[in-house]
């Protein structure tokens, strides 16, 4: 590995911090928007606009998440402040991998809902994500249930992850949270 490319440091790159907090805002907004829009009736002015917004932002977040993973691989990340090989460090690493996996899979199942009828996803009128026909019976319904449950599990894990960050800050009194805030 070329050490000039991947440098573990004691702080996060400002861009990694920006993507982290942008993801937080977007994920929570998409979750709220998703729950709200499925309750709308045909007569609401948001009946079509809500799902269009949800899909467009979801596609952009998917691209951002892929970019984020590549970015962190290239730029590296700070060494954890927990003891090497400790259970806490292993749980944190595992949680982060699951968070990335859930982020991507929630959006992949969203794609399978939206493209089940063969229509592409229009992203803010800027570009389209074409549909892939899998020919799965009841694809929209099955993908819909999985999408919802993965999103719920993601939110539960996010709460656990946020509580862990607060534990670092208030109980361990280390810099884990502060350095993710660039303080
Ligand atoms: C949608 C919500 C969130 C998602 C998807 C998310 C995701 C992630 C991921 C994947 C990492 C690991 C980055 C890496 O090592 O590659 C991370 C790190 C971190 N997150 Fe979050 N996060 C969320 C919300 C929060 C919240 C609300 C807090 C604080 C209260 C927080 C605090 C932190 C901190 C402090 C780190 C750095 C941990 C370390 O230095 O090892 N996150 N987050």
DSSP for 121-150 reads EEETTTEEE-------TTHHHHHHHHHHHH
Q: Specify the residue with its C-alpha closest to ligand 1, atom 14.
A: 96
Q: What angle do CA 145, 147, 149 make, to 5 degrees?
A: 70
What Rg do the C-alpha atoms of the chain give, in angstroms? 19
For residue range 134-147, what is the model confidence (pLDDT) as tens digits? Answer: 989 999 999 999 99
Q: What pLDDT, on a 0 to 100 scale, did the predictor assign at position 6?
A: 52
What mean pLDDT do residues 41-53 have?
Answer: 97
- DSSP conformation letters of 67-128: HHHHHHHHH--PPPSSPTT-HHHHHHHHHHHHHHHHHHHHHHHHHHHHTTTSPPEEETTTEE
Does residue 121 contact residue 59 with C-beta atoms inside 8 Å? yes
d(CA 136, CA 34) in angstroms, rounded, equals 24
Regarding predicted confidence, which is higher, 3 or 100? Answer: 100
For residue range 89-100, what is the model confidence (pLDDT) as tens digits? Answer: 999 999 999 999
Task: Examine the pLDDT at 8 and tell me if it is beyond 90.
Answer: no
Q: How confident is the model at residue 10 (pLDDT cuts 50, 70, 90)?
A: confident
- Ligand 1 first shell, C-beta below 6 A: 20, 23-24, 27, 72, 77, 80, 92, 96, 99-100, 103, 158, 161-162, 165-166, 176-177, 180
Q: Any idea where the domains of the chain sit in the sequence?
A: 14-180
């Amino acid at each position: 590995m070329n050490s000039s490319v991947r440098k573990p440091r004691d702080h996060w790159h400002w861009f990694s911090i920006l993507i982290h907090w942008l993801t937080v805002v977007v994920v929570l907004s998409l979750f709220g928007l998703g729950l709200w829009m499925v309750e709308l009736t045909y007569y609401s002015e948001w009946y079509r606009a809500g799902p269009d917004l949800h899909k467009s932002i979801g596609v952009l977040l998917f691209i951002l998440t892929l970019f984020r993973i590549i970015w962190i691989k290239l730029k590296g990340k700070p060494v954890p402040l927990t003891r090497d090989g400790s259970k806490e460090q292993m749980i944190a690493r595992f949680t982060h991998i699951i968070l990335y996996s859930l982020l991507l899979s929630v959006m992949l199942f969203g794609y399978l809902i939206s493209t089940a009828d063969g229509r592409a996803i229009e992203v803010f009128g800027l570009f389209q994500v074409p549909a892939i026909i899998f020919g799965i019976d009841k694809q929209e319904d099955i993908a819909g249930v999985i999408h919802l449950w993965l999103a719920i599990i993601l939110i539960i894990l996010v709460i656990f992850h946020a509580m862990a960050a607060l534990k670092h800050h208030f109980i361990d009194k280390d810099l884990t949270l502060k350095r993710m805030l660039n303080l």
